[in-house]
Amino acid sequence: MSVLCAIPLFLSLCMSVLAFLLKGDKRFEKIGLLGFAGLVVSSGALLYYSAMNGLLILEIGGWRMPYGISMQVDVFSATINFFISILGLCAYMFSLDEIKEKRSRAGYYSAMFTLFAGANGVLLTGDLFNMYVWVEVLVVSSFLLLSMGQNKKQIKGALPYVLLNFLGSMFILSSIGLIYGLTGALNFAQISLLMDGLGIGPSATFGALFLAGFGIKCAIFPLFFWLPESYHRPPAAVSAFFAGVVTKVGVCALFKVYGLLFYKHMEVFQGALIWIGVFTMVSGVIGAVALYDVRRVLSYHIISQIGYMIFGLGLFGAKAWAASIFFIVHNILAKSNLFFIGAEMNRLGGSYNLQKTRGLYNFYPLISLLFFISAFSLTGIPPFSGFWGKLGLVEAGFEANEYLASSFALLVGLLTTYSMVKIWILGFWETPKSEKCRGPKNKYQMKRIVPIFILSMLSLYIGLWPEMLLSLSKQGSEQLLRPKLYQEQILGGVR
Amino acid sequence: MMEFINPSYLVALCFLLGALCLWLNKVSFRLSGFAAISGSFAVLLGQFALKGVGSLSYLFALMCSTIGLLVVGYSWAYFKKEPDRFGQFSLFLFAFFGSMLGLLYSKDLINLFIYWEMTSLTSFLLVGFKNGSNKAREAARTALIITGGGGLCLLAGLILLGIENGTYEIAKLTSGSTPAAILVLLGIFTKSAQFPFHFWLPKAMKAPTPASAFLHSAAMVKAGPYLIILLTPIFWTNELWSIGLKSIGLISGLVGGYMAITKRDLKAILAGLTISALGIMCVMGSVYNHAALKAFLVFLMAHSLYKSILFMGAGILDKQFGDRDIFRLSGALREYKPLLVIFVIGLGSMIGLIPFMGFVAKELVLKSIEGHWLLFPVCLVFLFYGVAAIRILYPLISKKPKKVVKKLKFSFYCAPIIGAATTLIFGILPGFLNKLVEDSLGEVGVAQKVDLHLWHGLTTAFILSVAIILCSLLISWFMALKKYPEQSGVSETLYDAFWRNVRAYSGKTVSAWHRSGTSLYLYIFFGFALLLVGGMFFTYWRPVVPNVTQAPTYYEWSTGLLVAGGAILALMAKNIFIGVVGLALSGYGMALLFIMFSSPDLALTQFLVETMTVILVCFIFIRFPTKVPRRGTKRTLVNLAVSLGVGALSIGIMWKVLSYPFSSAAAEYYLKNAYELGHGKNVVNVAIVDFRSFDTLGEAFVVFLAGVGVASLFRLMPGYNKYRGK
Amino acid sequence: MGTLIIKVASKYLIAIILLYSLFMFFRGHNYPGGGFIGGLAAATAWSMYGIVYKASGIIQERLEPSKISAFGLLVILISGVVGLGSHTFFKGVWFKVGPVKLGTPLLFDAGVYLVVFGAVVNIVSYFEESFKWK
């Protein structure tokens, strides 16, 4: 049963190779769809079993821990992985309609599968260096997707992304090397055990190094500037997949690393993390309020939402982390969906610019409804999914006496509402100006609407009936915050 | 005694009804109207089954549902001219209805908050219903932002309450601190349009009138008072709570009244009167005694009834004459007798004439504050009411009507007539409401018998009422019919200015961010990393100089110098290819160092990779001009500082790590098992392909993807398609 | 003048380097060497061929290095499932052929060889070819 740990990863790698060998071939479409469906099913099964057993461990190559590499699937990682696989399926479906042959022949679908594989690897691995390897896979796949089929201007926008990400990877690799030099171990559980005895210095330094390195990937303040330059340029399926995967995996890696390795001296980081989170929230929402291009507004929202997750990370308690986990999942669903809807707004309304595309509400009620659900989910208005995460974070914030920071969290929520209402009013309610939306001439495309529908319905579901996800989040956060148990389970030889 | 059903069924029923009407409307307008009316009747009946849930909720919900039923019927008639929009309207209206009921029946604070926000959201959709009009959209946005902002304060306050009391269950709350009180009050004031958050209500009059008749008279604006009376048992000891309610309530009462006597739009006048009435309710609700709270509840119910029928009347006038300006509607009521009755009863109830329910309410209000300093301002507010009533009524009945219009259909005035009749009945026989009010008051802790009458005798309150009415008649002679210019109040101007500045400021910030080059981002990153990592390192770990046990041999340090020299050459070269030579020197020097430290595999790999790198770098640099551009001195110095900083930090951390004894357990394991289990003598290779094959798998994919990536980038070059002929 | 020297010399150099790459690959498990090194060396040889003889187009069309790279990945993945019987991926499965021990790590290494070879040749040939696209 523990073999299941590696199945999503292995499957996605095989699909990637297959996609490359069959690139440009129409027959691959169905195979790819089956592939992603298989990923969803196996990730779901993985989630189920890890929730049942607490922790699933697989030793790759049969080499005993802690000298071999192992995959360690806890509830937190399995939950995020499952929702990323659903997102992948939706992004794939959307790509089938959106991506033209030029990109497909350049290896687009191959890169999609490896992007998923990289995310999966980062989340489910139990070895620190292995995590770095999958981070690299993630980063290179994202470069590929970002630069494929673009024009000169768009590639210019990708340059800061490439540079800063490489620097971040460099920092991460250096810190991994140094941790190995210090402890002689690369297995999470063993490093965790050894770090306990080493005092505050190592935890503080390496925690800071990881924050700097992964911080670039999650786009925290003040390292987020690459995101608005690059996320709005590629096709929507790519942006949506990025929004749901790349930055979130960075955040998840931080959770894992802080929860398992540096937890003992967390108080050193708490203040910094909380306020970095607040600054990130505010920076993101400033951009969202000011701009009128839908994709750029959404890119800035990503930054703002990351701020909330870092805020939750900094609060460092079971409740705060459970709320953050819920928040991450809700974001994966709602945020990415908004990118898809933005693409539909462009197709049906004629432009991404809100000052040009208007009046979609009267002609396209379905997309308006789906936008309404996702947009107000993001703002955190009940009964939608964003509320539960925010509630948990503010509660935890108040309990930790961080009143000022929590108030900022609420204020940013209001500004997020303001910017979402701006999109709603301009894009949907206003009287149509462009010829394109004077009449219901454009029909819905199945391949585009089905993913949007799936994500909206899931988002609505976890908003109205949050119990299941809340309990998974709670289980996940409790697991992350009991590294002693983790160490025992893994090094004690439990399979 | 009926078993009570779960209130959430009722909420769900409302939502389903909305969806049903939307669907049926595509088939037939009449059918969906029938469904709507019978559905809301069912909801009203459903209230009777829910009596056991809580008396206070029951009172509010019953009032809400009754008016809801009337409004649904009214809205069906209202939409007869544009039947295809009725379905959507019913959806939103029922969604609102359901949210409101959910709010009233919530047993815990978070549940209440969820429905509170849902009412804001659904009212947003209702206010902006005529989405073609810019004013309607702006009004909807203003309403949502203000009530949403207040909602966030409310959330903070409710969370504080929950933390203080250890639970969110309303029945178990015992105390409330001042911060919580302030935050909850902010939430209430925004929702109930109290000063200084009152200006969204007149703007929201852009909503279709049925929506206004429901939301802005009986439902949404009553959420605030509901919360006041619900939380009074825990907050009544709090000074700030009662001061806040009294002061803001009075100010709003006066501001609303002033608004009512200066506006021209009929609905705006009614909005002003609503603000004012809510202000009175706030004042009443701040006093925790039986008389005041009894007055509070009765006044609330009377207000809902008369305000909703007045709104409905205004809507009828709007539809029939196409105008809402009282000066242009001269004599309109003369044409339609039923409408006249509606307005007379509604306005009469408002100013507290016998025998309407408003009179009962007003008497109770005046009686409860007898001898209190509040009496004077409250009377002033009631004075405004009188003047406003004349302002509305007089033009509408004075002159002959200008236009000749169609007959008024029964279905249109059916609902308000029923409402008017109810006002009359509850005025004459208010005793019907005794049990209802008594139970509700008992629930909030002021248990006493309630006995409502129309006539209490020639009390001080009665004399005062008559005096107020006479004074208002007198003042109206001078002031009621004055025309004032349209202008926004102070709050609105501040609000608009605030958002303008927010937009401007964010716009400037964002363009500043976009204009910055990549080099600035790099500086920021390195600066941040140096600060964070350096700070942590120097504070918590202290750098240390390692003790050198062995001096490096001459070939070791000279190779080291070669590596460093190559790097410096690469930086300082004026010709780009000399720079490449420097890079190569550095790389090959590293490979030599690997050999010296007995890592042949590493050295081999380094040699080969360096060769490849040089070839590729040359390929790239051939396309650049050979002369390396010079940077300014300032820039160079900054770069130098950053690089030295990063270098120093790396060295520092590395030395510190080296000062710890190296744990070689992993190395021993690999050395021991490489041949036995891995069947290979080269430990490095066995590690790569066997022990840690998983890493190599990932890296192989990275290499593969790099190749694909380069290929895809080359495909974008302009010459590619021509050359490849594809 | 210079190109004539390198053209003649490269014929021999390429052959030697290719043999060397195979040698490095096979001895990797017991002595310094291995798939990565072998692949890079072979790629060097082919890159030399492509640059000296301006044969990048032919390399792209006939050799299809990207497909080789993908095939190498396939080989790696296959080597991972061979040992699936022991409920884990990448389990080493060995058997003896005469005095020589063969096993899945060798297959894995071969895959690495192909991946590195394919990717690097791909990159270099595109670079070289791009000069013709003016």
Structure tokens at B395: 């033009």
Q: Which residues of chain B have a CB within 8 Å of the CB of C80?
A: 693, 697
Shortest CA distance to A341 belongs to which of A227, A418, A455, A435?
Answer: A455
Report how far residue A58's alpha carbon sits from residue A51's, in angstroms, rounded to the nearest whole number. Answer: 16
Nearest C-alpha in A relative to C87: A3
Q: Where do the domains of chain B lie?
A: 286-484, 517-664
Question: Would you call A208 and B535 a contact, using CB atoms and an 8 Å cutoff?
Answer: yes
Q: Where do the domains of chain A lie?
A: 283-464
Kindly report the backbone phi and psi dihedral angles of residue A385, in degrees, each rounded to the nearest multiple of 5, phi listed first.
-65, -30
Shortest CA distance to B446 belongs to which of B288, B280, B285, B296?
Answer: B288
Tracing tokens 């096993």 back to the chain, one arrives at C103
Per-residue pLDDT of chain A (495 residues; tens, 9 = 90+): 788 889 999 999 999 999 999 887 788 888 999 999 999 999 999 999 999 988 888 888 888 877 888 898 999 999 999 999 999 999 999 998 888 877 787 889 999 999 999 999 999 999 999 999 999 999 999 999 988 877 777 788 788 888 899 999 999 999 999 999 998 888 888 888 888 888 888 889 999 999 999 999 999 989 998 898 888 888 888 999 999 899 999 999 999 999 988 888 888 889 899 999 999 999 999 999 999 999 999 999 999 999 999 999 999 889 999 999 999 999 999 999 999 999 988 888 778 888 777 778 888 888 899 999 999 999 999 889 999 999 999 999 999 998 999 999 999 999 999 999 999 988 888 877 666 555 556 778 888 889 999 999 999 999 999 999 999 999 999 988 888 887 887 777 543
Minimal Cα–Cα distance from C127 to chain A, Å? 17
Q: Which residues of chain B have a CB within 8 Å of the CB of C77?
A: 697
A–B CB contacts, 8 A cutoff, strictly below: 250
Across the interface, of A3, A17, A59, the residue whose CB is closest to C73 is A17
Minimal Cα–Cα distance from A6 to chain C, Å? 8
Instruction: Kindly state whether A21 is in contact with chain C, defined as any CB-CB distance less than 8 angstroms.
Output: yes
User: What is the per-residue DSSP string for A101-147?
Assistant: HHHHHHTHHHHHHHHHHHHHHHHHB-BHHHHHHHHHHHHHHHHHHHH
Confidence of residue B3 (pLDDT cuts 50, 70, 90): low
Structure tokens at A492: 């004690």
Q: Which residues of chain C have a CB within 8 Å of the CB of B706?
A: 119, 123
Question: Would you call A414 and B149 a contact, using CB atoms and an 8 Å cutoff?
Answer: yes
Kindly report the backbone phi and psi dihedral angles of residue A56, in degrees, each rounded to the nearest multiple of 5, phi listed first.
-110, 135
Confidence of residue B4 (pLDDT cuts 50, 70, 90): low
- Span between the terminal Cα atoms of chain A, in Å: 10
Tracing tokens 């915050």 back to the chain, one arrives at A481
Nearest C-alpha in A relative to B534: A205
Does the bond joining B196 to the residue before it have cis omega, within 30 degrees of 0?
yes
Minimal Cα–Cα distance from A385 to chain B, Å? 11
Nearest C-alpha in A relative to B665: A184
Residue A494's pLDDT is 41
Instruction: Kindly state whether B707 is in contact with chain C, defined as any CB-CB distance less than 8 angstroms.
Output: yes
Confidence of residue B1 (pLDDT cuts 50, 70, 90): very low
A13 burial type by CB count under 10 A (0-12 exposed, 13-18 middle, 19+ buried): buried
Instruction: Kindly state whether B697 is in contact with chain A, defined as any CB-CB distance less than 8 angstroms.
Output: yes
Report how far residue A426's alpha carbon sits from residue A353's, in angstroms, rounded to the nearest whole number. Answer: 10
Question: Would you call B525 and A361 a contact, using CB atoms and an 8 Å cutoff?
Answer: no
Nearest C-alpha in B relative to C128: B619
Report the alpha-carbon angle B230-B233-B237, nearest 5: 130
Per-residue pLDDT of chain C (134 residues; tens, 9 = 90+): 568 888 899 999 999 999 999 999 999 888 998 899 999 999 999 999 998 888 888 888 888 899 999 999 999 999 999 888 878 888 888 888 887 888 889 999 999 999 999 999 999 999 988 887 75
Instruction: Kindly state whether B613 is in contact with chain C, defined as any CB-CB distance less than 8 angstroms.
Output: no
Q: Is the pLDDT of residue B193 over 70?
A: yes
Residue B404's pLDDT is 63
Do the Cβ atoms of A426 and A351 come closer than 8 Å?
no
Question: Would you call C77 and A17 a contact, using CB atoms and an 8 Å cutoff?
Answer: yes
Nearest C-alpha in A relative to C83: A61
Do the Cβ atoms of B86 and B76 come closer than 8 Å?
yes
SS3 of B290-350: the string is HHHHHHHHHHHHHHHHHHHHHHHHHHHHHHHHCCCECCCCCCHHHHCHHHHHHHHHHHHHH
Across the interface, of C71, C74, C88, the residue whose CB is closest to A3 is C88
- Which three-class secondary structure state does DSSP give residue A70? strand
- Span between the terminal Cα atoms of chain C, in Å: 25
C94-97 and A70-74 as β-strands: parallel, antiparallel, unpaired? unpaired
B positions 232-261 inside 8 Å of C (CB): none
C101 burial type by CB count under 10 A (0-12 exposed, 13-18 middle, 19+ buried): middle
Structure tokens at A428: 């949907």
Q: Which residues of chain C have a CB within 8 Å of the CB of A60?
A: 88-90
> What fold does the segment set B517-664 form as a domain?
Four Helix Bundle (Hemerythrin (Met), subunit A) (1.20.120)
- Mutation site, B716, B720, B726, interface A, largest A CB count within 10 A: B716
